[in-house]
Amino acid sequence: MSVAVAHHASSSSGAALEEGARQAAYRGTDLVVVHVVDSLDNDIAEANRAGISDAVEKALSAADLPDLRWDVRLVAGGREVAEVSAALLGAVEELGPDLLVIGARRRSPVGKAFLGSVAQNLILDAEVPVLVVKSPR
């Protein structure tokens, strides 16, 4: 089994990666970082992997877990909330992790009313427990 972290280049991703690493260490399992990309073009995929690898190494260092085993899973999705949500949910279903860790950020009441939220979709639709990590202010 594993602990999966839904990764996105945002302020909440670092906190989610750190907590995901702590949860994986606590459970004695691997960390899998799931990142949605527009396409799985080889050049773009390698650039994404390099950037994500740096973020994971930084999070593992911050969590004092430099030896934790981890992997990056890039999944093709899109940019719309529904597309990103579907891609992440498909990856989670395929991976079958013990836990999904996601980052969340504050949204205004108007944003909540009119715009969908990937975090909300994952919380409601994931078949595994979801741990939400709120980004620090």
> The whole model's pTM is what?
0.89
Q: Are 39 and 76 in contact (CB under 8 A)?
A: yes
If you ran DSSP here, which 8-state letter would residue 135 be given? P
Confidence of residue 137 (pLDDT cuts 50, 70, 90): low
If you ran DSSP here, which 8-state letter would residue 136 be given? P
Which numeric CATH code is attached to 2-134? 3.40.50.620
Q: Are 84 and 40 in contact (CB under 8 A)?
A: no
Give residue-wise pLDDT tens across range 89-130. 999 999 999 999 998 877 666 665 555 688 889 999 999 999
Residue 46 token pair: 């390698």
For residue 33, is pLDDT > 60? yes
Q: Which pLDDT value is given to residue 75?
A: 92
